[in-house]
Structure 1
């Protein structure tokens, strides 16, 4: 009898233990999947790192689109002066960065968000994919987008297919954001807009306008349709500096500051010197620091800034380290993680060009042009904008390199257009004003400046002094510019069928002189 009672007690005791087994055996210091879901951490944690990869590093960015747009230049004669900056390709890494660090995690997080019904997170990831891939295509042309994630020899999208896919995806993304204006799920993961879905919708519309303008020469009908859709959407556009899209707070240092101040590998460009000083542009003191050696600026001592010609012939790095650095404020720990992807000034300049092209809803070209300049001066805290906009005489300067033999690296300015708007000017002359000011305002976001220079021919920048291109990557004729970056070696070796098909879609050899789809040449109107 005692044995029977003992077994009953033991059975009850065991049942009691197993009833609470999960609770008793759960590590109190371990974060459970359910607790992660409550705060959206199981999906949201992906986004800061994806956004932080939009801008590349020195190799991905500073020695490609930054130098090709002539915003900054290097004092360093890397590899004996024969490198990307002189049109011989040594580095080509942006593709790998974006596919490994944006497209791959985006695919994963979209699957998680879809499974849990988090549609706003799904479309946020899809928007980040467009941000990334719309930049990668500016390098290579055809890229992998609609077929991403497939196995085997993955086919690239032609640029025509790609841009139509971007526009189609933006339809869905903007609709989702517009239908969820009060959604708060993004708050803990969004250092750009603090989770404000309305601001993401405004950015998505502005991105649509940007992409529409890219294709305005090659497919005017598509461009007009998509541009007018952006201009008319109730969510609006980014028309205030309070709406600017910055990559900020993601732990990624503003990389040109690191390259400039820690490594000494970047300085002001000669084109910046020529244009900013010639136009008496007070933004120069917000962008760059003056030189300490006044002998470098004997031709304009009242504006003590000196830049390096892109593709300059150089002997030693030390020769030009005394040229103008970035403004020291860029190295401020409170600012070094902040960098703009798009700002209100660019949107105004897009609207100004849209007005020239007759797009409904664009408004007046002059008003948008002047609003863009004002927004840029406001953003950088520069004074004198009224006098600047009224200047009908000042022109960019000719350039002399004080560290080179006479004539070496020098150039004669080709810009004959002043800042002040002239309603009697031709459309081409008006477009030159718009794109030149857009180039100045896009400082720190040089990708679009490089695109605009290829698309429109503006600003009228000097060619690189030393053209080292050859048959290895394609020869750039004297007087012309580099038009694209080659397909990357990882794809050439790992997906040769895809690269071969992409080269057919490129409609030209896989070389640096082949024009992209939207880079049609000729008149802009």
Structure 2
């Protein structure tokens, strides 16, 4: 980590009580608001930053769900190798990013849009809020949404069920507004994702609705079906081609993952990815990762020159695992980051089809289309042979440095679809492929894993959970992130109320399940 102490300081500042967010001070040497009004710059200029900050960086992603889901892992023994990756919470920063860099500036955008009669900019900002907050609630559960911006001494959080109701109702309103303004071009100069194409944003609205509906499919099946079928039948359509993919501009910066990997040497391939990509003979591996620098590291599979690090691994000296597989060099120069792809939509439709939702189509066709879209999006070859493979299965993992990190693959799935399989096995295949495709977007993989149990990944090798943040039993995985300390101390009653909304026996710890994580059967 470049300077973890600076990062922690920034986290503590960002994670202060939500009610204390302040407007940014205006530099008298900057361009005045009146000058920025020209061509809607005052209202439109924040949007690139709003979109960029939907995602996190090292302490929000790489040392959290990137590791927990086995996409990546660190060679660095941060804080004596007792940290987020081993279930002892040291960093909890996403809350501050979302409120400080999305909710606060979007509030100003909405107010300015109303002041200067630019309602579509307010609509656009509200959509980005849902994109961001639907991610934040996947970390914590209840969040401050409907009461955001209040000056009360105690700010109450939205119960998860109420929050999703709000999301769906607001998506209705957003889609209605967009549908009557498809020829509007006012976003174009401010929109790095779709160049102001309202029809493209409408496809994203439907895709987001479908994602959230699938998220609720076990806890609220009737609501999920209604909302999912609404997304599937909307005439605006879904993200169905890679040309429709929702990508977020990096604003001229390097992909955070590349900075962490190449500049700081603090992240490497995950061992779980090695197990699945190697065992299933997956052609996307070279698009995700670089080969390991020493052939002795992958002596257990000499023809597959990659080596990853176990989730929650026992880590000694950092230098031991720096030679493991880095991410692909391509990530050093990419200008955008995948946020929502046609492949993910196809996998959502595949699951919806298993659940009998009208308009979802055929599960096999959606599954295979999702794999094909993913291979094409990542520029990988060999998809036909991959889809036909009914014998290759995930590998066991061998750590050449410390055998305590070894694991036996718990998944025995193959890639090829078999209509004779039961729905549980079919769902495992769908979610496993969705997990592979969502590399660089591991929060969605963490959501899927908690609600379905797929893909089948190993437990952390080193479990440092404790009563401080919650105990994760040896046969379980982390369930959520606790509320940030700024809220615990500055909005104590609000946090207590939020915990009460999580159900009987809930605690503000990492072992409490979120609303949609029922722990029950998938069908």
TM class, shorter-chain normalised? Answer: over 0.9
Matched, 1:248 2:262: no
Please identify the structure whose Cα radius of gyration is greater: 1
Question: In the TM superposition, what is the alpha-carbon distance from 1:177 to its structure 2 partner?
Answer: 1.3
2:379 paired residue number: 381
2:24 paired residue number: none
Partners in 2 of 1:400 and 1:52 — Cα distance? 37
Question: In the TM superposition, what is the alpha-carbon distance from 1:325 to its structure 2 partner?
Answer: 0.2
The question of whether the paired residues in 1 share the 8 Å contact of 2:68 and 2:312 is answered with no
| Secondary structure at 1:39 match in 2 | helix
| Secondary structure at 1:362 match in 2 | coil
2:114 paired residue number: 114
Deviations 1:275-304 (A, max 9, x none): 000000010011000112111111111110
1:220 paired residue number: 221
Cα 1:249/1:481, change in 2 over 3 Å: closer
| Secondary structure at 2:489 match in 1 | helix
Deviations 1:240-262 (A, max 9, x none): 00011111152343101000000
Question: In the TM superposition, what is the alpha-carbon distance from 1:36 to its structure 2 partner?
Answer: 3.4
Partners in 1 of 2:250 and 2:456 — Cα distance? 36
Q: How does 1:196-207 map to 2 (within 5 A)?
A: 196-207=197-208
Question: In the TM superposition, what is the alpha-carbon distance from 1:329 to its structure 2 partner?
Answer: 1.0
Task: From 357, 360, 378, give the equivalent of 1:359.
Answer: 357
1:24 paired residue number: none
1:322 paired residue number: 323
| Secondary structure at 2:265 match in 1 | coil
Structure 1, unaligned runs of 5 or more: 1-28
Matched, 1:278 2:274: no
Partners in 1 of 2:322 and 2:473 — Cα distance? 31
| Secondary structure at 2:67 match in 1 | helix
Bigger drift between 246-255 and 280-289 goes to 246-255
2:433 paired residue number: 437
2:468 paired residue number: 472
1:86 paired residue number: 86
1:57 paired residue number: 57
Deviations 1:82-123 (A, max 9, x none): 000000000001001110111011111101101222121111
Task: From 501, 507, 520, give the equivalent of 1:505.
Answer: 501
The question of whether the paired residues in 1 share the 8 Å contact of 2:250 and 2:337 is answered with no
| Secondary structure at 2:432 match in 1 | helix
Structure 2, unaligned runs of 5 or more: 1-28
1:460 paired residue number: 456
Partners in 1 of 2:84 and 2:253 — Cα distance? 24
| Secondary structure at 1:195 match in 2 | coil
Deviations 1:460-496 (A, max 9, x none): 0000000000000010001100000000001111111
The question of whether the paired residues in 1 share the 8 Å contact of 2:83 and 2:89 is answered with yes
The question of whether the paired residues in 2 share the 8 Å contact of 1:346 and 1:372 is answered with yes
The question of whether the paired residues in 2 share the 8 Å contact of 1:66 and 1:72 is answered with yes
Partners in 1 of 2:493 and 2:222 — Cα distance? 33
| Secondary structure at 1:130 match in 2 | helix
1:290 paired residue number: 291
Partners in 1 of 2:232 and 2:89 — Cα distance? 39
Partners in 2 of 1:385 and 1:446 — Cα distance? 23
1:26 paired residue number: none
Partners in 2 of 1:194 and 1:345 — Cα distance? 22
Question: In the TM superposition, what is the alpha-carbon distance from 1:210 to its structure 2 partner?
Answer: 0.2
Matched, 1:348 2:349: no
Partners in 1 of 2:86 and 2:419 — Cα distance? 39
Matched, 1:514 2:512: yes
Matched, 1:129 2:129: yes
| Secondary structure at 1:408 match in 2 | helix
Question: In the TM superposition, what is the alpha-carbon distance from 1:522 to its structure 2 partner?
Answer: 2.1
Question: In the TM superposition, what is the alpha-carbon distance from 1:235 to its structure 2 partner?
Answer: 0.7
Cα 1:111/1:275, change in 2 over 3 Å: same
TM-score with structure 1 setting the length: 0.92
Q: How does 1:400-411 map to 2 (within 5 A)?
A: 400-404=398-402, 407-411=403-407
Matched, 1:307 2:308: yes
1:146 paired residue number: 146
2:409 paired residue number: 413
The question of whether the paired residues in 2 share the 8 Å contact of 1:119 and 1:176 is answered with no
Deviations 1:407-437 (A, max 9, x none): 3100000111110001011000000000000
Partners in 1 of 2:438 and 2:390 — Cα distance? 23
Partners in 2 of 1:177 and 1:441 — Cα distance? 29
Question: In the TM superposition, what is the alpha-carbon distance from 1:54 to its structure 2 partner?
Answer: 1.0
